[in-house]
Amino acid sequence: MHGKPKVLIVDDEPDVLLTMRLILEAEGFDPALAADGETALRRIDDEQPDIVLLDIMMPVLDGWFVLAELAGRPRRPYVIVCSAKSGEVDKTRAFDLGADEYVTKPYEPDDLVRIIRDTLSRGARRPARL
Amino acid sequence: MGNATRTDIREQIQHEARVAGMRRLARPSIEAVERRRLQLWAITITVIAAMAAATVIASIAHANTVEFFRPSTLRYAIIGLAFGFSAYAIEKEVHLHRLSRLLMDERVLSSALSNRLQQHAELTSAGRAVNSILDLHEVLDVILSSALELLRVETGSVMLIEGEDDEADLIAVAARGDNDVVLGSRVGLGESIAGRVANSREPLLLAGKVDDELYPGHQERIMAPHSAMCVPLVNRGQLLGVLNVSSFGERSFDEHDLQLLCLLAEQVAAAITNARLYEAERVHVAQLLELDRTKTQFVASVSHELRTPLTSIRGALSASRRAITVDQRDELLDVIDRQTLRLAAMVEEMLTAARLERQGTMPILRRIDLAALVRLVALDSQVAGRPVEVQAPKRCEIRADPESMRRIVGNLIENAHKYGVAPVRVTVEPAGDKVLLSVLDKGAGVAAAEREKIFERFYRAERTATSRPGIGLGLPIVRGLVEAAGGSVWVEDAPSGGAAFRVALKVRPIDEQEVEPCTASLRS
């Protein structure tokens, strides 16, 4: 991994995008934003982020669609699902679709930053993913 | 009574058997009595014949015998003996005849009693069968089978009451046999035979052709039954319907059959009531389960809606600790401000919904200018980034609770922006003693099947439940407030496409006379 790790924040809530962008920038990441699934898939293709913070309930294309779409790709970024959905069914579905972590909203931003770092360092030991 | 008569007959039989000389037999049979009678008559005839022969011989015999054996004396003696024996035989015959009749009576009585026992057993088993099922259709089927089996006929029907009071009719809900009532046929109370039985609640036994004058509305069938019965089905004083059975063969119903059918009808009525209670309970449970499901959905969507602003607030707090510039800090404070307002609005929405759920909340009515109020709410909406086009008269005064009206208009505009497509238009049209407030959008409209449901609490249309924010209380609140003000709200297709949410409000609710009507000059 060279330079700042790229993080794509996908959420339809502008304030979540705004605050997470500020936090991740301050923590030494290179954040990019997407407010719906369609934009997220486009930015993943264009910018190839290292990790995606993915909300589930979104207009146009939801997070499930994005996960399913990424599952079929040979090269894909790590995905941390950040959703207000807290049911076990949703978590199982996310992991089945290839999510690496599942964080329930409202999360503590510091915790999320730690999880992002852990996931990325874990990824360093598993180069096949990137 | 049957047993008393039977004991009485038994005592008489024992007495007659004793007198008739049959005491050796504990229970003489009719056949034994007949044999004894035959023997008696054979002996009597033999004895009389022998005596007649002896008399003749005595007459022919020599005359010079001792006085005592003189033919005439002998003849008288033999005749006397013959008379004596005849008297004995006649007396025995009388008793044997009586014994024979008593035995015949006892046999008839036994057979009748065993028939009755058989019927009673059948009635009990029919009652048990009818009451062991809870599904109404099955119950009706078993009822008919049991009644027909019990009475050994093949045609019958069950008619149940449908409708209230004056509108009530008897509907055939089960029928057997080719010549009887057609399934689904309808008879008014008091009409025809079934209607009359239902009205009088008295069982009816009919034989032969039905007198049309006696039963107005009666339709003669192609093949009239030979005999028929119709009994009311009454449970705890409530009339449920009637049970009909007809005989098209040789079988003629009698009073006893009618009594039997009445006994079955009592059990049948109880079974129908049970089945209906069960059905009502089943529906109630299904409704409760549905309510439970929608409440679970509601809790899920509320928690989601509460979590989202909380995420932003925590994010903003965490970010502000890392913020470098003053502008960044101000921006984060704005985030906190916006999201706390959003939380507060949601809490307020839930409280309003809970308040509206409690009955008897009276709105405070004031004279307000609806047109001005709509323009104000539209302006607020514009500021919040949701532009609205208003079409309303200069003034339109109504008596209403201003806070409720603001909420109604605000929620409808928000709803149109959230679920419809811009441009959103609000119109106020006075129409006689009413005012029609409409909020129109250019979206896909609301599917006919969902037009009522969207006003129900906790309901969110399937396609919007996952993609749009909201807790599904906006429209239920609108309906609650509109109805509290004595108006009505509904959704329909807008003339130019999209959805049209209409609110009809009375200009003068509850005896308000001093209000001036709306000035009817529309302004674009």
Q: Where are the domains of chain A?
A: 6-124
In the block, tokens 């028929």 appear at B228
Q: Over the Cα atoms of chain A, what is R_g?
A: 13
Substitution target from B303, B308, B471 for chain A, most A beta carbons within 10 A: B308
Residue of A nearest to B303 (CA): A84
Residues of chain A contacting B, Cβ within 8 Å: 13, 15-16, 18-20, 22-23, 26-27, 57-59, 62, 84-87, 104-110
Q: pLDDT at position A128, please?
A: 41
Confidence (pLDDT) at A10? 94
**Whether the domain at B136-275 and the domain at B366-523 fall into the same CATH topology:** no
Residue B444: count of CB within 10 angstroms of its CB: 13
Q: How many CB atoms lie within 10 A of CB B52?
A: 13
In this complex, is the C-beta atom of B302 within 8 Å of any C-beta atom belonging to chain A?
no
pLDDT band at B502 (very low <50, low <70, confident <90, very high): very high
* Cα atoms in the 13 Å half-sphere on the side-chain side of B521: 2
Which range has the worst mean pLDDT, B118-132, B295-309, B318-332, B357-371? B357-371
* The CATH number of domain B136-275, selected from 3.40.50.1470, 3.30.450.40, 3.40.50.300, 3.30.9.60: 3.30.450.40
Amino acid present at B276 = R
> B346 to chain A: which residues are within 8 Å by CB?
none
- Enumerate the β-bridge partners of residue B42: none
Chain-chain contact of B318 with A23 (C-beta, under 8 angstroms) = yes
pLDDT, tens digit, 9 for 90 and up, residues B421-465: 888 999 999 888 889 999 999 888 888 888 888 887 766 655 454
Q: Please answer yes or no on whether A13 and B308 come within 8 Å at the CB atom.
A: yes
For residue B325, the chain A residues in CB contact (below 8 A) are none
Q: Which residues of chain A make contact with B323, given a CB cutoff of 8 A?
A: 22, 26
Show me where the domains of chain B are located.
2-127, 136-275, 366-523
| Helix or strand (DSSP H, E) at B18 | helix B2-19
**For B177-198, how does the pLDDT look when each residue is reduced to its tens digit (9 = 90+)?**
766 677 888 888 878 888 888 8
Cis before B476 (ω within 30)? no
- The residue-averaged pLDDT of B479-486 equals 84
Test A109 with B319 for CB contact under 8 angstroms: yes
Residue of B340, B335, B412, B338 lying closest to B377 (CA atoms): B412
pTM beyond 0.80, yes or no: no
Q: How many other CB atoms are there within 10 angstroms of residue B507's CB atom?
A: 21
Distance in Å, alpha carbon of A127 to nearest chain B alpha carbon: 31
Which chain A residues contact residue B467 at CB under 8 A?
57-59, 62
CA angle B271, B274, B280 (to 5 degrees): 140
Whether A15 sits inside 8 A of B303 (CB atoms) is: no
Pick from A59, A84, A86: which is nearest to B308 by CB?
A: A84
To test the contact with chain B by mutation, choose from A19, A23, A55, A108 the residue with the greatest count of B C-beta atoms within 10 A, namely A19
For the stretch A5-19, pLDDT in tens is 999 999 988 899 999
* CA nearest neighbour of B301 among B479, B476, B474, B469: B469
- For residues B170 and B198, the answer to whether their CB atoms sit within 8 Å is yes
Residue B29 — pLDDT band, cuts 50, 70, 90? confident
Please tell me if residue B332 touches chain A, with a CB cutoff of 8 Å: yes
Q: Which two three-digit tokens encode residue B214?
A: 């006696």
Average pLDDT, chain A: 88
| ipTM reported for the complex surpasses 0.90 | no
Contacts of B129 by beta carbon, 8 Å cutoff, 6+ apart: B142, B146
Average pLDDT, stretch B346-369? 74
Instruction: Report CB contact under 8 Å: A84, B303.
Output: yes
Q: How confident is the model at residue A126 (pLDDT cuts 50, 70, 90)?
A: very low
- Cβ atoms B411, B481 nearer than 8 A: no
The C-alpha atoms of residue B183 and residue B176 are separated, in whole angstroms, by: 9
Of A16, A22, A106, the CB nearest to B323: A22
Q: Are A16 and B331 a contacting pair at CB < 8 A?
A: no
Is a pLDDT exceeding 90 seen at residue B86?
no
Contact B304 A23 (CB under 8 A): no
- Percent of chain B past pLDDT 70, that is, above it, reads 84
Name the token pair of A109: 């931003």
Contact between A38 and A12 (Cβ < 8 Å): no
- CA-CA distance, B333 to B349, in Å (whole number)? 24
Asked if the Cβ–Cβ distance from A84 to B323 is below 8 Å, we say no
Contacting residues of A for B328, CB less than 8 Å apart: 22
Per-residue confidence (pLDDT) for residue A68, from 0 to 100 = 93
Query: What φ, ψ does residue B59 adopt, rounded to 5°?
Result: -70, -40
CA dist B447 and B452 (Å) reads 10
DSSP secondary structure code for residue B236 in this structure? T
How far, in Å, are A33, B49, B51, B79 from residue B76 at the CA level? Answer: 150, 15, 11, 5
> How much is the mean pLDDT over chain B?
81
Above 50 in pLDDT, residue B513? Answer: no
Determine the Cα–Cα distance for residues A7 and A22; give it in Å rounded to an integer.
12
- CA distances to A25, B37, B104, B107, B109 from B14, rounded to whole Å, are 120, 17, 14, 15, 17
Could you tell me if B394 and B523 are in contact, meaning their C-beta atoms sit under 8 angstroms apart? yes
CA nearest neighbour of B291 among B425, B458, B461 = B458
**Inter-chain contact A23–B319, Cβ cutoff 8 Å?**
yes
Query: Domain B366-523: which topology?
Result: Heat Shock Protein 90 (3.30.565)
Residue B113 has pLDDT above 90, yes or no: no
Question: Which band of pLDDT confidence, cut at 50, 70 and 90, is reported for residue B510?
Answer: very low
- Contact assignment for B311 to A84 by CB distance below 8 Å: yes
Residue B522 tokens, joined: 């529309």
Contact A22 B303 (CB under 8 A): no
Contacts of A84 in chain B (CB under 8 A): 303-305, 307-308, 311
Interchain proximity B335–A85, CB inside 8 Å:
no
Determine, for residues B339 and A108 on separate chains, whether the beta-carbon distance falls below 8 Å. no
Compute the average pLDDT of residues A49-60.
90
Query: Is the pLDDT assigned to residue B485 strictly greater than 90?
Result: no
**Average pLDDT for B369-386:** 88
Taking CB atoms and an 8 Å limit, are A13 and B332 in contact across chains? no
- Strands A78-83 and B366-369, by their bridges, are unpaired
Query: Average pLDDT for residues B23-46, to the nearest whole number?
Result: 83
**Shortest CB distance from A22 goes to which of B308, B322, B468?**
B322
Cβ-contact B419, B443 below 8 angstroms: yes
Instruction: Specify the fold of A6-124.
Output: Rossmann fold (3.40.50)
Q: Mind giving me the DSSP string for B418-445?
A: HHS-SPEEEEEEEETTEEEEEEE-SS--
Determine whether the interchain pair B338/A27 forms a contact, defined as Cβ–Cβ distance below 8 Å.
no
Closest chain B CA to residue A103: B311
Answer whether the bond into residue A106 is a cis peptide, omega within 30°.
Answer: yes
B334 → chain A, closest CA residue: A15
